[in-house]
């Protein structure tokens, strides 16, 4: 099975680069992969040495799509990393991996951002009919707030054209699978839990070594948030809650591991303004290895999100794998995780109060943090291994090849196909005779 694989890779600073680079070695055990990138030179040595890498321009110029059994496109909500991948997915339909269900920001960047205002109007009309067309015109005329500046993009994801075009979709949560079905109910959708290779409990010795490395006292409670520091991460609410916590308990440090949104959402500046600079540390951009080290040395992690674009957090799953309790927002994909280690807070009027109460509970029960974290680890071990994700990708591609997809259900007629498979095996037709099996599957599928 030969597959074209479109994704950002390092040095592009996006979690999808990390996701792909961790998944690819396992995926390559099941299929032959060619990687396509948007006219940049990848920097990961292992990826460079073990995969054939082409530019997206190569794919278009040389009719490369004819060489492949399948094409996989990783779709995110940022035009900087996904413009050419998105456009190629529309021209040469394949299997999309939905990292952000709502891609309204991407569409806005490709239309309004390039002063192609009528294209934005047409896109909104395609997605939402006359209501969408009216909304687009009024927002562009200044009569109402533009959609991508509101917290409502999840209700207007602007992804219908992509879903209508694509052959199948891979999603990382059951919540997003349901949303995809509402837009296009007959697209094959495969739920693949977000993978992480970092499923290992952190020893006390390892934690202390890292505390020494980063000059953090062993007895200090370390609270941390991870990834690009945007308004949607609700960091200002956490700092405000910690200011109240400090009145009764002050032996803590809150570490923000990631880049700040300069000039827009600067939490280092905010922490100084409210007298919390001694308790808040901003690391700036860190390497993936440093990112993991900060998770390991932490006691409590915080992964809030509002508004959400329907994304699933890779850092959150990595945190589970390393056995850390996490505070999350009770919204979208985040609501799916068990309450026993993913403690939920609201995103409404009581958000700050909920954060305070949840932090207070964990601090008052800090001797139970390891036990809570162990439950997170066990959950990740069962559901989020990279091997498991790679096998699920392969299952979808094989199901498509063998005609096991029926009206969008990749699990339809499994019993029937198993019975047929058993009979074929009895007469000497095994998996090695792939072409014969595919022809038989096509005949059976047409009969159904």
Give all domains of the chain, ordered by start, each with its CATH number: 2-191 (3.40.50), 204-364 (3.40.50.2000), 391-447 (no CATH)
pLDDT tens column, 97-132 = 999 999 999 999 999 999 999 999 999 999 999 999
Q: Can you give the pTM of this predicted structure? A: 0.84
Residues in the chain, total: 448
Order of strands, edge to edge, in the sheet holding 2-6?
52-55, 32-37, 2-6, 70-75, 95-98, 168-171, 189-191
pLDDT for 407 beyond 50: no
Least confident of 68-82, 326-340, 348-362, 416-430: 416-430
Lookup result for tokens 């070594």: 209
pLDDT of residue 344: 98
pLDDT for 53 beyond 60: yes
Please state, in angstroms and rounded to a whole number, the distance separating the CA atoms of residues 401 and 188.
Answer: 13
pLDDT for 412 beyond 80: no
Q: What is the mean pLDDT of residues 8-32?
A: 95
Using CB atoms within 10 A of its CB, is residue 2 exposed (0-12), middle (13-18) or buried (19+)? exposed
pLDDT for 22 beyond 80: yes
CA 423 to chain centre: 41
Residue 432 pLDDT grade (very low, low, confident, very high; cuts 50, 70, 90): low
Q: Are 189 and 180 in contact (CB under 8 A)?
A: yes
Please state, in angstroms and rounded to a whole number, the distance separating the CA atoms of residues 350 and 82.
Answer: 36
Q: Are 135 and 144 in contact (CB under 8 A)?
A: yes
Q: What is the mean pLDDT of residues 65-83?
A: 95
pLDDT, mean over the chain: 92
Look at 280 and 421; give whichever has higher pLDDT. Answer: 280
Look at 448 and 96; give whichever has higher pLDDT. Answer: 96
Least confident of 56-60, 153-157, 390-394: 153-157
Using CB atoms within 10 A of its CB, is residue 370 exposed (0-12), middle (13-18) or buried (19+)? middle
pLDDT for 311 beyond 90: no
CB neighbourhood size of 185 (10 A) = 10
Q: Are 284 and 207 in contact (CB under 8 A)?
A: no
Which phi and psi angles does 176 have, rounded to 5°? -70, -35
137: tokens are 């015109």
Residue 414 pLDDT grade (very low, low, confident, very high; cuts 50, 70, 90): low
pLDDT of residue 425: 73
The DSSP bridge partners found for residue 282 are 256
Please state, in angstroms and rounded to a whole number, the distance separating the CA atoms of residues 97 and 194.
Answer: 11
183: tokens are 């837009």
Residue 415 pLDDT grade (very low, low, confident, very high; cuts 50, 70, 90): low
pLDDT for 382 beyond 80: yes
* 64 Cβ contact list (under 8 Å, min separation 6): 4, 34, 54, 58
249: tokens are 């308990």
Beta strands in 339-443 (DSSP E): 342-345
Percent of the chain with pLDDT over 70: 95
Q: What is the mean pLDDT of residues 44-70?
A: 94
pLDDT of residue 288: 87
CA 224 to chain centre: 20
Q: What is the mean pLDDT of residues 239-262?
A: 95
pLDDT tens column, 159-188 = 999 999 999 999 999 999 999 998 998 899
Least confident of 35-44, 74-83, 321-330, 426-435: 426-435
């Amino acid at each position: 099975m030969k597959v074209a694989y479109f994704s950002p890779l390092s040095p592009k600073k996006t979690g999808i680069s990390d996701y792909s680079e961790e998944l690819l070695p396992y995926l390559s055990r099941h299929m032959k992969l060619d990687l396509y990138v948007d006219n940049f030179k990848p920097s990961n040595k292992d990826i460079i040495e073990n995969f054939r890498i082409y530019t997206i321009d190569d794919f278009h110029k040389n009719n490369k799509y004819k060489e492949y059994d399948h094409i996989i496109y990783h779709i995110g909500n940022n035009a900087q990393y996904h413009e050419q991948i998105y456009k190629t997915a529309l021209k040469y339909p394949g299997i999309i991996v939905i990292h952000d269900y709502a891609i309204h920001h991407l569409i806005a960047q490709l239309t309004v951002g390039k002063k192609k205002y009528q294209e934005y109007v047409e896109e909104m009309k395609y997605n939402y009919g006359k209501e969408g067309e009216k909304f687009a015109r009024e927002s562009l005329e200044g009569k109402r707030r533009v959609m991508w500046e509101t917290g409502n993009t999840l209700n207007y994801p602007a992804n219908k054209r992509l879903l209508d075009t694509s052959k199948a979709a891979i999603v990382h949560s059951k919540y997003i699978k349901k949303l995809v079905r509402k837009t296009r109910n007959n697209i094959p959708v495969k739920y693949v839990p977000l993978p992480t290779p970092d499923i290992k409990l952190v020893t006390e010795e390892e934690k202390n070594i890292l505390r020494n490395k980063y000059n953090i006292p062993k007895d200090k409670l370390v609270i941390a948030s991870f990834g690009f520091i945007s308004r949607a991460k609700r960091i200002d609410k956490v700092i405000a809650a910690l200011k109240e916590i400090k009145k009764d308990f002050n032996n803590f440090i809150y570490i923000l591991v990631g880049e700040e949104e300069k000039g827009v959402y600067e939490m280092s500046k905010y922490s100084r303004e409210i007298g919390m600079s001694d308790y808040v540390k901003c690391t700036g951009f860190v390497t993936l290895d440093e990112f993991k080290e900060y998770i390991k040395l932490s006691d409590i992690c915080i992964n809030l999100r509002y508004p959400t674009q329907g994304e699933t957090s890779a850092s959150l799953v990595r945190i589970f794998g390393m056995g850390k309790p996490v505070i999350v927002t009770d919204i979208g994909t985040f609501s799916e995780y068990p309450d026993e280690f993913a403690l939920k807070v609201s995103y409404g009027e009581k958000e700050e109060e909920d954060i305070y109460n949840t932090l207070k509970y964990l601090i008052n029960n800090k001797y139970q943090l390891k036990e809570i974290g162990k439950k997170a680890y066990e959950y990740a071990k069962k559901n989020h291994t990279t091997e498991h994700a790679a096998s699920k990708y392969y299952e979808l591609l094989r199901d498509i090849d063998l005609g096991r997809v029926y009206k969008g259900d990749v699990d339809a007629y499994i019993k029937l196909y198993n019975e047929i498979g058993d009979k074929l095996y009895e007469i000497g037709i095994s998996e090695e005779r792939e072409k014969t099996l595919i022809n038989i599957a096509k005949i059976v599928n047409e009969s159904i």
